[in-house]
Amino acid sequence: MAARFAWPRKTRDIRNHHFDSTVWDEFTFREGDIVIASYAKSGTTWTQQIVGQLVFGGDPAIRVADLSPWLDLRVPEKSAKLGLLAAQTHRRFVKTHLPVDALVVSPKAKYIYIARDGRDVAWSLHNHHSRANALWYQLLNDTPGRFGPPIGLPRPDPRAYFLDWLDGDGHPFWPYWENIRSWWAIRDLPNVLLLHYADLKADLPGEVDRIARFLDIRVDDVTMQRVLEHSSFAWMKSHADRAAPLSGICWDGGAGDFIHKGTNGRWHDALIAEDCARYERRALTELGRSCARWLAQGAHGLNARTARSSHHEGPPAMAGHDGIETPGDALPRLAGLTRRPRFAAPPFDRRPAARNGDGFDGQGNSPGARAGDRRMPTRFGTPAMDVPDQRSITMNSRRIRLSHLRISMVARSERIADLPPEPLDHPALKDLGPRELADLPLPRPISTGRDHDLPPTV
């Protein structure tokens, strides 16, 4: 009997100076809806612009700020946003900053989650918070229905702001780590796509192509050039009023302050080594190694390290001086772990069974999966392996030949943890191009006891 995946369920509401997640209980999904999710300042507006350009065929005149509301923001009132969305006749796309268990995951919709290194997030948040004007505070703090304390003025020093944010898990906004964990845990759902800010910066054409394929939007070369032009940071900066919420009226410098620099690494000159070590230790503890590595670099960053380290012959790199393997320490040794190999899958079939009107066939494939398109099936994984339920499994060496590492996995009742490095010349990978390799599912993290993976139902 085919396994059925237990779809994520909304199990709680989050309400504070920004959020009112109860709006999701009143939102009626349509087939093809798109939900763009993230933690704040992780590339949400950029992703909205890309999706809007794909939906509207590269039209430069669209205003994503008006078309794609932040659904769970308390202002404007939810009836206004629900009414706006109900009146739309095009393919709808909305924004959220909620973790998975505080919104509705519908098989009718497709979900795009974009993440960014927490240090870059905090630096961008500091700029966002510091440049907010009196209207921003008034809307968030004085609009009726606020739960919890008001949001106050930020500390002027970005390093101090970052340390408060790190120690307070997202203070004064909302928790960071549970947001990342919750979306990472459902990344294998066929209607979920994970993006990384660094990957958009490293290869915008390739990532836009991934998004288009995921959304089953066919784009010719001419239209793609328009989409890429209107999704570039330079174009968005010069047309910031079309993307910034409320056209940027809540920031001192207008929309240009909302779409600021778009760069990563501004923290390098401000944080000391111990600050970075604290952050990296926290990331490992909260997320597990696989997710922490991906969050630190994105797939393209890890693949670049993989390519450079593939010529290195010698013992694998050891853990950091504190005995904890940080993302930076782990990268050379874990070359090839940026994506799950094609033959690897969880010990149960995570793909959803067919259901009336869910848009998937019995194999969990969307109706847009095209014959001959190898990227769709590899993203969703191959049929699950028949794996015994034990804590340690040694895989057949004839199936995977690695000269430098004994192949082992840690199995749990719900998942298999990290696999060892996969050689880039493995026969299973030879027929895939670089973009197809980048489209393979990410490996599952070693559980820290905090992952919100959902068990299957049979």
Residue 331 pLDDT: 28
> Which segments of the chain have a pLDDT < 70?
1-5, 246-247, 253-265, 301-458
Q: From CA 259, how far away is CA 51, in angstroms rounded? A: 17
pLDDT at 22: 98
Domains and CATH numbers, the chain: 21-258 (3.40.50.300), 273-344+387-438 (no CATH)
pLDDT of amino acid 378: 30
pLDDT of residue 452: 34
Q: What is the pLDDT of residue 302?
A: 62
Residue 9, judged by CB atoms within 10 A of its CB (0-12, 13-18, 19+), counts as exposed
Residue 36: what residue type? I
Tell me the pairing of strands 392-393 and 409-410: antiparallel
User: Smallest Cα–Cα separation from 297: which of 161, 60, 117?
Assistant: 117
**Whether 140 contacts 152, CB under 8 Å:** no
Return the SS3 of 180.
helix
Instruction: Report how far apart the first and last C-alpha atoms of the chain are (Å, whole number).
Output: 8
Q: For the chain, what is the radius of gyration of the CA atoms? A: 22
Determine the pLDDT at residue 259: 56
Closest C-alpha to 66, from 244, 228, 253, 255: 244
